[in-house]
Structure 1
Amino acid sequence: MRQTPAQRHLHAKLALIAVAAAPAGGEPQGSAYELGLVQLAEHRRRLKDIQSIERKIEAKRQFLPEYDAWIDSTLQAGTGGQDVIFTTVLVWHIDAGNYARALQMAPYAIEHDLQMPDQYDRSLGTVLIDEFGAAALGGKMTVEEARQMLPQVMACTEQLDAPDQARAKLHKAYGFALIGKKGSADVDYEALPLPAVAAGLNNLQRALSLFEQVGVKKEIERLDRRLKNAAPPAP
């Protein structure tokens, strides 16, 4: 059931009190958090009853606005309490394609070393690296979005432990975005600006160094050839 404006206002006030009072590293306390956990359990139950992945994602899009007051309050006044609502909703925003909102939340979760809920078998850093890379490569975000967002993911996860294959996929996705490559469509390498060629090549080489089967060798060869052909002849 959607909240009325008065209910949202009250929820926001209670959420702000709860997250501000939470001990660092401890779990938030108070009625707002307890009600949020009840709501989260109900939403999880409803998701479990849905078999279609597409319908699950649509359901998450419908649920997510109900957590905005809690998320905003946590970002404003949170002390880093271990918050299962925050981390679950972060993943749901990625699933729903709300990448900008997820990136708004991710630095807070990383700064306070928030742990993923028990039902997830990947760390927060791995989830961010894996899911953003897959979204870009799978065409779920535009080239412009990938160019803007993937460096943010790289920056905030740089010091986190994650499988090399996942990080390789992220560099591949960013490299492809830099040269404007979408899916299996070809690229006019000769028309690419040299700065994009150099930056794309750097990221694809990094991807290859992390995971040899990442699938970028052909692109590396063509970008390298483009740079060599553009170099001035030796005197």
Structure 2
Amino acid sequence: MADSPAKRHFQRMLAAQEAASKAPHELMDGATAYEQHMAQLQSDRLRLKQVQSAQAKAELKRDMLPAYGNYVAGVIEAGKGTPDEVLTTTMLWSIDVGAFDEALCIAEYVLRHGLAMPDRFERTTGCLVAEEIAEAALKAQKVGEQFNAGILARAASLTAAEDMPDEVRAKLHLALGRALLSGVTDEALPPGSDVQAGVDNLKRAIDLHSSCGGKKDLERAERLLKKHAVPPPSPGANS
């Protein structure tokens, strides 16, 4: 049957029902929707192995991800924290293709329930989420592109209590600091800019890892903070 709103609704409801029927830490094996999507995942991974280009892999993942959307939505809606390789893989692929809002929606569920990445991943889930999003932001910033500070702030909030190397958390704070200061110049302070928050995140990054590369950013940020500081009211201004 061709894809249709009715079919997508059925897939989401089936995933929700099956996820709700499983206790926390109980395996999803035997659940029809999960088995179907795991089979699809195995097939997609074989296709990805045949591609060498990282950019081409990302485009292929972008094409593949919609097939998992209804299943993922159903699990997040009703799941109780059952280990789910489809869910964690979809989260990672969403980061890979730049679908950060979607990735963080999944990450919120995954981290809340303490779900681990598959065994082939050496990093913990929290570390992976923080580092992959930070790396994506730093890569964009390196070539002069802007990166949404809200995405980085949400990633930092979600992973604040997660254990990870200091160097990884430093990357996230460095990227967030730079994002908050994006567009701020001696002459201009874009609407919504928060120079103090940018300074605070750069200081945190350097405190965590002194070689993170943020010292020049901090010097510039502190100069901008002084430049754009609101002067105190003059004596007798309200008299």
Which TM-score band applies after superposition, normalised by the shorter structure?
0.7 to 0.9
Q: CA deviation at 1:161?
A: 0.3
Match in the other structure for 2:236: none
Match in the other structure for 1:173: 175
Quick one: percent identity of the two aligned structures? 38
Q: CA deviation at 1:138?
A: 1.6
> Any idea what the Cα deviations from partners look like across 1:46-79, whole Å, max 9, x if unmatched?
1111111111111111111110111010111001
3-state secondary structure, aligned to 2:115: coil
Residues 142, 148 of structure 1: alpha-carbon distance in 2 compared, 3 angstrom cutoff: farther
Match in the other structure for 2:237: none
C-alpha RMSD over aligned residues: 2.5
> Any idea what the Cα deviations from partners look like across 1:88-143, whole Å, max 9, x if unmatched?
11000000111110111111100110110122221111111111111112228964
Residues 227, 7 of structure 1: alpha-carbon distance in 2 compared, 3 angstrom cutoff: closer
Q: CA deviation at 1:222?
A: 2.4
Match in the other structure for 1:184: none
Pair 1:107-2:108 in alignment? yes
Is the Cα contact below 8 Å between 1:75 and 1:105 reproduced in 2? yes
Which AA in structure 2 matches 1:177? A
Q: CA deviation at 1:12?
A: 2.6
Paired positions, count: 227
Residues 217, 16 of structure 1: alpha-carbon distance in 2 compared, 3 angstrom cutoff: same
**Quick one: distance in 2 between partners of 1:22 and 1:36?**
17
**Quick one: distance in 1 between partners of 2:227 and 2:31?**
65
More helix by share: 1
Pair 1:188-2:185 in alignment? yes
After TM superposition, list the pairs within 5 Å mapping 1:41-56 onto structure 2. 41-56=42-57
**Quick one: distance in 2 between partners of 1:37 and 1:95?**
19
> Any idea what the Cα deviations from partners look like across 1:139-170, whole Å, max 9, x if unmatched?
28964x52211111111110000111111111
Pair 1:4-2:3 in alignment? yes
Match in the other structure for 2:218: 220
Q: TM-score scaled by structure 2? A: 0.86
**Quick one: distance in 2 between partners of 1:178 and 1:87?**
29
Which AA in structure 2 matches 1:8? R
Is the Cα contact below 8 Å between 1:179 and 1:192 reproduced in 2? no
Q: CA deviation at 1:22?
A: 1.3
Q: TM-score scaled by structure 1? A: 0.87
Structure 1 gaps of 5+ residues are 182-186
**Quick one: distance in 1 between partners of 2:145 and 2:54?**
21
Q: CA deviation at 1:11?
A: 2.6
Which AA in structure 2 matches 1:48? K
Structure 2 gaps of 5+ residues are 233-239
Q: CA deviation at 1:228?
A: 4.5
Is the Cα contact below 8 Å between 1:189 and 1:223 reproduced in 2? no
> Any idea what the Cα deviations from partners look like across 1:4-36, whole Å, max 9, x if unmatched?
225434433322221111121111242111111
